[in-house]
């Protein structure tokens, strides 16, 4: 599914607080919440407030935002119970298995086995 209209986009709506989520972090640029269908004991989604479809459409001006998302991952993994490491996953486009067309980083961790 391709969904690029911010008014209807699921993660835009979660970022605006129109749809509830279990938030663990937010600032002016980002919201972070628990994945509704966790694939691991710790499964967070790091989501920019501003709509970007994916890394495929990210631009040079997004470099600082992407760096911020990346550097936030280890901190939030640790704070939320992934104490011995984590996996960072970004699905991009239909061929990459992306289901929600608003850029997001999956932070996965915690005791194994995972789903
Ligand atoms: P992706 O396949 O990379 O686009 O991942 C989308 C992720 O969003 C999946 O892991 C879903 O479980 C998750 N998801 C879908 N709807 C919600 C929601 N309302 N709240 C939190 N996570 C969601
Ligand atoms: Zn969006």
- 72-105 confidence digits (pLDDT tens): 999 999 999 999 999 999 999 999 999 999 999 9
Residue 58: per-residue pLDDT: 98
Going by pLDDT thresholds of 50, 70 and 90, the confidence category of residue 6 is: confident
Which residue of 2, 31, 37, 39 sits with most ligand 1 atoms within 8 Å of its CB, as the best mutation to test the pocket?
37
What predicted TM-score, i.e. pTM, was given to this entire model?
Answer: 0.96
Nearest ligand for residue 55 CA: 1
Which residues line ion ligand 2, judged by CB < 5 Å? 6, 9, 11-12, 51, 102
Going by pLDDT thresholds of 50, 70 and 90, the confidence category of residue 4 is: low
User: Does 1 score more than 60 pLDDT?
Assistant: no
Is residue 104 among the annotated active site residues? yes
Q: How many CB atoms sit inside 10 A of residue 58's CB?
A: 16
Domains within the chain, CATH numbers bracketed: 10-109 (3.30.428.10)
CB of 20 closer than 6 angstroms to any ligand 1 atom: no
Which residue minimizes the CA distance to atom 20 of ligand 1? 36
b vs e for 24-34, b when ≥16 Cβ sit within 10 Å of the residue's Cβ?
beeeeebbbbe
47 touches 11 (CB < 8 A): yes
Q: Measured between alpha carbons, how far is 42 from 24 in angstroms, rounded to an integer?
A: 12
């Amino acid at each position: 599914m391709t969904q690029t209209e911010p008014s209807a986009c699921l993660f835009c709506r979660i970022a605006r607080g129109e749809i509830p989520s279990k938030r663990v972090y937010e600032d002016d640029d980002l919201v972070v919440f628990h994945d509704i269908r966790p694939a691991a004991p710790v499964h967070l989604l790091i989501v920019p407030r501003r709509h970007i479809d994916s890394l495929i459409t990210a631009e040079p001006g997004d470099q600082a935002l992407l760096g911020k998302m990346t550097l936030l991952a280890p901190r939030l993994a640790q704070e939320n119970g992934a104490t011995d490491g984590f996996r960072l996953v970004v699905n991009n486009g239909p061929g990459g298995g992306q289901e929600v067309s608003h850029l997001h980083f999956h932070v996965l961790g915690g005791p194994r086995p995972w789903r």
